[in-house]
Each structure stands twice: as structure tokens, then as C-alpha cells.
Chain A
């Protein structure tokens, strides 16, 4: 049984068929990048994974069961913008993520539990290089810093799946490369399953373990909405996925091969 499985998935908005016959399965720990023309349904697919849109036909399964049809803490998300809370400081933005699942009626933690949560939040912010901006509001942060904050916030409750919808699309190329590095690092460390939409094919090609291209296979010039897009290319890229990497590392045992493998990984992923 696969971790996530789409079975003949369709999505229609009225007469507009957005996605058709998407059948695919994903194992835990994969890093999937998604590319495709604007308006072809990439975000729609992510929304279905998130549970804020439901398939019109077909099934979307998580561990063999239909995905819950509302967002929950198993699935983290970073949007292109508006991902952080404008009224909370950097530290509070991450702290609130620790408070939500644990705190009851007041929505806050107190005393020892608050202290522990604060320490954890500070550590998570260090990991994304925001330790100097703990007391700043999002409006005081640059775009790249805001997205790093959003990532730290999404990961702190250790979701199983991380959904990224063009999270770095608005950033400068240099900063974007840094953010990719950071995302890969966090992915390696956590073993989380990542779906990342990007509009840059090369970006998609060098990041992650698997590349999906969404496109229409049928097209009727007289009614462009009649047919939807599907996954036209499903290419393993770069390296093996996290699990396979671990398996390899475990079975190889020898340090030499191990480092060689790592170096290869680095090369492929940092080009």
C-alpha cells in the first residue's frame, strides 16, 4: 500500500474540467516537484491534498484511506504569501504553532510548558537563520525571511506531508537558491514527504527526487475547458528518495561508499 495514492482523480468546476484521470502513487519521504502551465491545476491538486477541495471523481488516499476533507496537523503548507500571522512576532508565530494542539480554551500555554515551547520555537528559528529577528513583526521581515518563518512554523509540529505552492516564486534568484538549500536540508533531517509547485523547470529538475509535469493530453480548440490536465511526465530526478538513501546507507555500511554517495547527492542537488 502506498503512502499517498490518487486513483483516476478528476476535478471539475462546473463545465471546466481542471484535472482528469490523475493516477499516481507516492511513497513516504519523497520530494516531488510539480511544474506545468499557468492555470493547469497544480494548485487545485495541492488543495485536494490539503483537504480544502474535494475530488469530483476518483479517490485520493492516504495510507489507503480517503484524505480527511479539512486541513489538519498532518499536512503543513507554505503559500506564496499570507502564510504567517501579521499580528504576531516571529517568535510568537512559531510559538502559536506549539500552542494550538496543546492549549485548550485559552489557546495559550503557561508556565513550564510555555517555557519549553519557547525554547523549541527559538531552536526552530535558529535552524532557519532567524534567531536575530525573534521580536519582529512579519511586515518588518524581507520576503525571504517571511518564507523561512513560514517553513519553520509549518515544520515545528512535524507534519507527515509538506505542501509548498510556489513558496519562493517572489524571491530573488540568489535568495531562492539559499531557500532551496534550506528546504533540502530540512527535508533530509525530517524525512517528511514534500510536494512543491514551481514555475521553473530547472528548479524542479535539480531539487527533489521526482518531477511531475501537469499538462493536457487532449485539447479541443473550440472549448478549451472541456478537457483537463493530467500528469504527463513522472520522472525520477537527481537522486533516490530519503528512504532509499537511508536503506543504501544502512546496507553499504562502509564509510567510503557512504561519503561518495553523499557527495554525489550534494552535487546533484546543489547544481
Chain B
């Protein structure tokens, strides 16, 4: 008999093992909800799966009585827009400042300690300042995401640039490259897959800051809705919203990984055709 560490599940077994914990959680929830509801039919804490289902139908597929909007989609669109702006600006800042810090000693001496200091500011502590300065609109929410994630991405990419073997940078110079060409042809293409990794890792934080900002001041958005219906203990709305946010985050993470494999096969040890090297 092989050691346990050397035994691998087959493809059907793998799917089963993957789904199992999810199914168990749903099952446990259904049982617990059943027990509570049989004791007190008006209990709001663990609504039955059917009432969650009808809440989803109400939020996603029926126009709201007050505004006529399909609330789930309006909220999703609003949140995703804020997230995209925030993450996009952070990624761009991270790329530009991270590479400049990594490649050019003068910029590094100038900016690196500053970025480190910035990254130590707790972003939530300056949220009131953002609301005061940028108002309660979209801008302050996007800025919160940027403040919360850009320093991390910058610092990560800077150290990734510094990890590129100096042999490569010297080699490029012996081939006649200028600083700009080294950045463009040697550093940037090797940093882009690392940027995707850094963005993946910072997505959790981006969602956190988004929902926090929406909870405090917004008129739509996934975070806004969750905190709004909390007043009525509407667990039947909160739970599917949380599941939906989780699913969205998962899809983003998965898509970023696929994009990285597609665009940067060498980074994943694959050949140009995408087969294992």
C-alpha cells in the first residue's frame, strides 16, 4: 500500500471531494433551520431554503415596488463598477510605481520609504477624511479601495522586480538596451503575471473596503443592501447576497488565473502552446 501522501483521487473522486464540504454546509443549514422553525415558525435567524429562494426571486427577478429596479442587478452593477475602478487604479499605480521603484535607484530612494509609511496607515481610519474631502459619492469609495490596496501592490511588485536576477538586467545592457528598453522588454513582461497574482491576493481586501464604504454611505450596492436589510433582520436576503459576493469573488480569482496562464505560459512552466513544458 502506498503512503497516503502519494495517493491521488481520480477525476470523479476529485469532483465529489470538492463538492462534499459545500453540500455538507447546505445540509447542516437546512437541518438547523428546520429545527428552529419547527419550534418557532416566525423565527428570522435561519430562514428555510424555500424562503431564501423566494427572497432571491424577489430581489433578482421582480422589479422593486418602490423604484421599479431589479435590485440585485442594480446593486451588483454598482458594486462591480466601484470595485473595477478601485482595483484598476491600484493595479496601474502598483505597476508604474513598483517598476520605477524596483529599477531606478533614485526613485527607490525617493519613494520606497514613503510607500512603506503609507501602507501602514489603517485605511478605515481615514475613511471619514475621504468622505469629507471627496464627498459621499462614488469617488470616496474608489479612493478607499485604492488607499487600501495600492501600497500593498506597489510593495509586492517592487520586491518582485528586485528579485529579477541582476544577470538579466546586465545582459540586456550588454545587448545595447537603454533603461527604458530594459523596463519595457525585460522587466514589464516578467512583472505582469506577478501583477495578476498581486491583484488576486488583494481582491479580498478590495471587497472588504468596498463593502465597508457602501455600508456607511451609499444608495445602492451589495454592501449597502446587506446593511440596509439588517434592520429588518432579513436573513433571507443577507445570506444569498453573501453567497453571491463570494461567488463573484471566486469567479474573478479564477478568471485572473486563467488569463495569466493564457497570456504568460512561461510563468506557469508551460510551453508556448500551453502544454506542460
Contact = CB atoms under 8 A, between A and B. Distances in A.
B116 interface: no
Interface in A106-143: 106-108, 135-137, 139-140
B132 interface: no
Nearest to A75: B174
A50 B170 CA distance: 9
Contacts of B171: 77, 79, 83-85, 153
Interface stretch (A8-16, A95-103, A200-208, A216-224): A95-103
A97 B175 contact: yes
Contacts of B227: none
Chain B contact-residue range equals 20 to 34
Interface residues of A, number: 37
Given A72-B173, A100-B177, A154-B174, A107 B185 contact: yes
A58 interface: no
B119 interface: no
A23 interface: no
A142 to B, nearest CB: 12
A86 B176 contact: no
Contacts of A159: 174
A189 interface: no
Given A87-B190, A101-B176, A107-B185, A137 B168 contact: no
A85 B168 contact: yes
A100 B172 contact: yes
B271 interface: yes
Contacts of A135: 272
B53 interface: no
B277 A96 contact: no
Interface stretch (B22-30, B196-204, B261-269): B261-269
B232 interface: no
Contacts of A83: 167-168, 171
A118 B266 CA distance: 21
B16 to A, nearest CB: 34
Interface string B130-174: 000000000000000000000000000000000001011011111
A103 to B, nearest CB: 7
B186 A71 contact: no
Interface string B172-191: 11111110110011100110
A126 B49 CA distance: 68
A73 interface: yes
Contact of A96 (B165, B175, B265, B272): B175
A105 B181 CA distance: 8
Given A136-B271, A137-B272, A87 B266 contact: yes
A101 B181 CA distance: 10
Given A97-B175, A100-B176, A105-B180, A71 B170 contact: yes
Nearest to A163: B174
B167 A72 contact: no
A84 B180 CA distance: 19
Q: Identify the 8 closest CB pairs spanning chains A and B, nearest first.
A: A101-B176, A71-B173, A82-B167, A73-B176, A82-B165, A100-B177, A100-B176, A97-B175
Given A100-B177, A159-B174, 10 more contacts: A50-B170, A70-B173, A72-B174, A77-B174, A85-B168, A87-B190, A87-B267, A97-B176, A100-B176, A107-B185
